[in-house]
Amino acid sequence: MGRAPCCEKMGLKKGPWTPEEDKVLVAHIERFGHSNWRALPKLAGLLRCGKSCRLRWINYLRPDIKRGNFTKEEEDTIIQLHELLGNRWSAIAARLPGRTDNEIKNVWHTHLKKRLEPKAQEHGAASAKKHKPAAPKRESGGRRTDVPTTAPVSPERSVLSSVTESSMASSVAEHGNTGSSAFAKEESFTSGSEDFQIDESFWSETLSMPLDSHDVSMEPRDAFGASSGAADDMDFWLRVFIEAGDVQQLPQI
DNA sequence: AAGCGTCACAACCGCCCGTCT
DNA sequence: CAGACGGGCGGTTGTGACGCT
């Protein structure tokens, strides 16, 4: 099933966005939403690919984007979630209100990975958690192999992450669209604790959150009627994990 | 002050998945 | 059921900013 490029390249602008383009995009989305990214640039009068518009909106223009440096808590959270989820940046981003997968990915590659590498060496080969550097370039085009290239994730966890990812990620995206404040519901995850510690209870909560919070934080997604199947899957897998005891095998902090 | 290396981040690319026709 | 389409994701790159020599 070959797929045409996301856009016919001719005549479409690339490179950094200008403030004018930003204004046009924001104005159009605020007014009409973004039900169809492909058509949006034409409708908005932008000489951009729909994908480019989407990326710009999600990563930069969304009203609920939290800009600025990552806090220590956020960095710790990313590290821990990366241990659990691997390079599933969208899933990690779903746990960090106001942060985008792109931003998290950048932070990981520029800061956190380096920070962890010395540790990994200290722990030596005994550490099965050692992160491989630079993933080999897409063997057979495998994004969704469910075996993250840079993080050792057990098959069970891989399944779990793939189950939880979609709903969480789309939560982020949809909230962006609606300018929702529902993000704030997850704030308790990082806020309010001076000495942020991730303990077992945290992970239990984290692992169970997609189920427990589904009715609350996923409302916008539900409104599109797209997640009921995923919820069933999550129920199923969570039961499997609980019964297998895997959920309790949380990473050592 | 100039040259160079490194860092940080926005943006692009190519692929896969789910949905629609 | 197969193919087309749109959305989304992760990996990678380009480039400006910054710091060091």
Question: Which pLDDT belongs to residue A58?
Answer: 86
Q: b/e for A202-233, b at 16 or more Cβ within 10 A? A: bbeebbebbbebbeebbbbbeeeeebeebbeb
Between A153 and A7, whose confidence is greater? A7
Residue–nucleotide distance: A194 CA to B15 C1' (Å): 42
Q: Are residues A199 and A123 located together in one domain of the fold? A: yes
Give the per-residue pLDDT at A44.
Answer: 86
A114 within a domain of the structure (yes/no): yes
Taking the C1' atom of every nucleotide in all shown strands and the CA of A227, the nearest one is B18
- How far apart are the C-alpha atoms of A239 and A221, rounded to whole Å? 23
The fraction of chain A above a pLDDT of 90, given in percent, is 0
Q: Tell me, what's the pLDDT at A40?
A: 86
- A155 domain-assigned: yes
What's the rounded Cα separation, in Å, for the pair A70 and A99?
Answer: 9
pLDDT computed for residue A60 by the predictor: 85
How large is the C-alpha radius of gyration of chain A? 19
Residues A42 and A118 in one domain: no
For residue A22, count CB atoms less than 10 angstroms from its CB and return exposed for 0-12, middle for 13-18, buried for 19 or more: middle
- Give the whole-number percent of chain A exceeding pLDDT 70: 40
Pull the structure tokens for residue A212. Answer: 């427990």
> What integer best gives the mean pLDDT of chain A?
57
| Contact predicate A40/A34, CB 8 Å | yes
Q: Which nucleotide is nearest to A109 (CA to C1')?
A: B8
Q: A101: pLDDT confidence band, cut at 50, 70 and 90?
A: confident
A51 beta carbon to strand C: under 7 Å: yes
Residue A170 CB lies within 7 Å of the nucleic strand C: yes
| Distance in angstroms (rounded) separating the CA atoms of residues A150 and A129 | 10
User: Per the structure, how many domains does chain A have?
Assistant: 2
Q: pLDDT tens digits, residue range A116-161?
A: 665 554 443 333 333 333 333 333 333 333 333 333 333 333 333 3
**A192, exposed or middle or buried, with CB in 10 Å at 0-12, 13-18, 19+?**
exposed
Residue A163: per-residue pLDDT: 34
Domain assignment present for A52: yes
Residue A50 has pLDDT above 60, yes or no: yes
Least Cα distance to A97 among A217, A220, A250 occurs for A217
Same domain, A56 and A82: no
Distance A16 CA to B2 C1' (A): 28
* Separation in Å: B15 C1' and A19 CA: 31
Q: Is the same domain home to A56 and A173?
A: no
Task: State yes or no: pLDDT of A93 exceeds 60.
Answer: yes
Q: Is the same domain home to A76 and A51? A: no
Round to a whole number and report the distance in Å from the CA of A83 to the C1' of B16.
Answer: 23
Q: Is residue A55 part of a domain?
A: yes
Residue A177 lies in a domain: yes
Chain C bases under 7 Å from protein CB?
3-12
Phi-psi category of A146—alpha, beta or left, where left has phi over 0 and alpha has psi -120 to 50?
A: left
Same domain, A55 and A163: no
* Residue A10 pLDDT: 56
What are the residues with a C-beta under 7 Å from any atom of nucleic chain B? A 1, 3, 5-6, 13-17, 48-49, 51-52, 55-56, 59-60, 69, 102-103, 105-107, 109-111, 114, 138, 140-144, 226, 229
pLDDT at A151: 38
Q: How confident is the model at residue A117, as a pLDDT?
A: 61
Question: Is residue A51 included in any domain, yes or no?
Answer: yes
Which domain-ending residue is among A61, A92, A113?
Answer: A61
> Do A137 and A64 form a contact (C-beta atoms < 8 A)?
no
Closest Cα partner for A238 from A160, A128, A147, A126? A160
pLDDT at A224: 31
Residue range A212-218: mean pLDDT, rounded: 36
Say if residue A100's pLDDT is above 60.
yes
The pLDDT score that the predictor gives to residue A69 is 79
Query: Do residues A39 and A95 both lie within one domain?
Result: no
Domain of A159, in residue numbers: 72-133+151-248
Residue A179 lies in a domain: yes
CA A151 to chain centre: 15
Same domain, A204 and A229: yes
A219 and A195 within one domain: yes
Measured from the CB, is A150 under 7 Å from any atom of strand C? yes
* Of A183 and A237, the one with more pLDDT: A237
Q: Does residue A144 form part of some domain? A: no
